[in-house]
């Protein structure tokens, strides 16, 4: 299994993981490889009922509190990272007030409430089959399930078609959930309006892809021909919105080169790119 610890304290952190949790990690890894991720429910229930999750969290919290410098590595906002690999992560998250939007995030989840928490979960699903990488303003969510989850109750989310909304069912600030989350399966995440359940916007899942788009805009503003080679290479990027952003900025520098790429985009694998290229060429 490919873990890739990034530094010394992450190595120390992994040394604290109890054997039973390593066993769960191994089973999750094999299920993901077999595309049977959701079959890990029974393993998660077993480790919860044996109180092993509480033991593990206590170990991590002690480790975390020993040194303030470790916060950057194992804490992200209200989330404690217990394990992270290229395939999936195991985290404990404190549930606060619901976010402004509902989110369709392209990663599968299996989870359970912790520490006596009571979590009221609303699950939404898309009303028709969607490709998350092709943002569709006509898509709609519908409420498919609402119920209270207690410790040991397992909830799931299919990241390609479902959105989950978590709410603390108690009048306190101590509501925690443990989640096993796969890597992102697509390049985009959608936000939905809570009232209309219609798409509000889409955004890049990868921060690197988002940063690339911002950098290309900055490069394009300078209109320096030295950047054409790098921009042309980025027009072949795996993320379709990065390819299109590269083309837009090539057009600011060299219109002839932009038209050449625009013609190749007519046969792009992504429908948005093909349609946009056809639309732009029809204007010339």
Q: By three-state DSSP, how is residue 229 classified?
A: helix
Can you give the pLDDT at residue 144? 97
DSSP 143-161: EEEEEEE-TT--EEE-TTT
| Strand residue runs (E) in the chain | 75-76, 79-84, 88-94, 102-104, 109-114, 119-126, 141-149, 155-157, 162-168, 176-182, 188-192, 199-204
Can you give the pLDDT at residue 79? 83
Residues 6 or more apart whose CB falls under 8 angstroms from that of 25 comprise 1, 17, 83, 90
Residues paired with 90 in a beta bridge: 83, 180
The sign one gets for the Cα dihedral 210, 77, 132, 193 is negative
Can you give the pLDDT at residue 5? 54
Can you give the pLDDT at residue 193? 97
Can you give the pLDDT at residue 73? 55
Can you give the pLDDT at residue 67? 59
Q: Which CATH entry fits the domain spanning 8-204: 2.60.120.10, 2.60.40.10, 3.30.870.10, 3.40.50.720?
A: 2.60.120.10
Q: Say how far residue 262 (Cα) sits from the centre of its chain.
A: 30
Can you give the pLDDT at residue 70? 54
Tokens encoding 176: 């925690």
Can you give the pLDDT at residue 271? 85
- Mean pLDDT of successive 10-residue segments in the chain (284 residues)? 61 82 90 85 88 84 64 64 88 88 96 90 94 90 96 94 94 86 93 96 87 88 90 91 90 92 92 87 78
Can you give the pLDDT at residue 68? 52
Can you give the pLDDT at residue 77? 62
What is d(CA 56, CA 21) in angstroms, rounded to the nearest whole number?
8
Entry pTM: 0.80
Q: By three-state DSSP, how is residue 164 classified?
A: strand
Domain ranges of the chain: 8-204, 207-282
Can you give the pLDDT at residue 121? 97
| Strand residue runs (E) in 14-118 | 75-76, 79-84, 88-94, 102-104, 109-114
């Amino acid at each position: 299994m490919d873990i890739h610890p990034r530094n010394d304290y992450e190595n120390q952190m992994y040394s604290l993981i109890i054997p039973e949790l390593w066993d769960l990690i191994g089973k999750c890894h094999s299920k993901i490889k077999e595309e049977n991720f959701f079959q890990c429910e029974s393993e998660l229930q077993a480790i919860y009922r044996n109180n092993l999750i509480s033991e593990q969290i206590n170990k991590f919290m002690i480790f975390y509190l020993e040194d303030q410098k470790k916060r950057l590595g194992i804490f992200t906002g209200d989330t404690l990272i217990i394990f992270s690999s290229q395939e999936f992560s195991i985290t404990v998250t404190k549930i606060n007030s619901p976010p402004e939007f509902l989110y369709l995030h392209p990663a599968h989840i299996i989870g359970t409430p912790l520490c006596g928490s009571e979590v009221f979960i609303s699950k939404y699903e898309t009303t028709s089959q969607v490709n998350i990488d092709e943002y569709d303003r006509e898509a709609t969510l519908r409420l498919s399930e609402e119920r209270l989850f207690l410790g040991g109750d397992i909830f799931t989310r299919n990241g390609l078609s479902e959105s989950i909304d978590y709410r603390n069912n108690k009048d306190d600030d101590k509501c925690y959930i443990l989640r096993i989350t796969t890597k992102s399966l697509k390049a985009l995440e959608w936000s939905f309006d809570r009232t209309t359940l219609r798409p509000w916007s889409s955004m890049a899942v990868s921060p690197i892809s988002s940063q690339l788009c911002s950098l290309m805009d900055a490069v394009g503003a300078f209109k320096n021909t030295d950047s054409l080679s790098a921009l042309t290479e980025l027009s072949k990027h795996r993320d379709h919105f990065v390819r299109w952003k590269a083309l837009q900025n090539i057009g600011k520098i060299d219109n002839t080169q932009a038209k050449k790429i625009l013609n190749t985009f007519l046969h792009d694998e992504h429908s948005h790119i093909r349609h946009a290229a056809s639309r732009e060429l029809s204007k010339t």
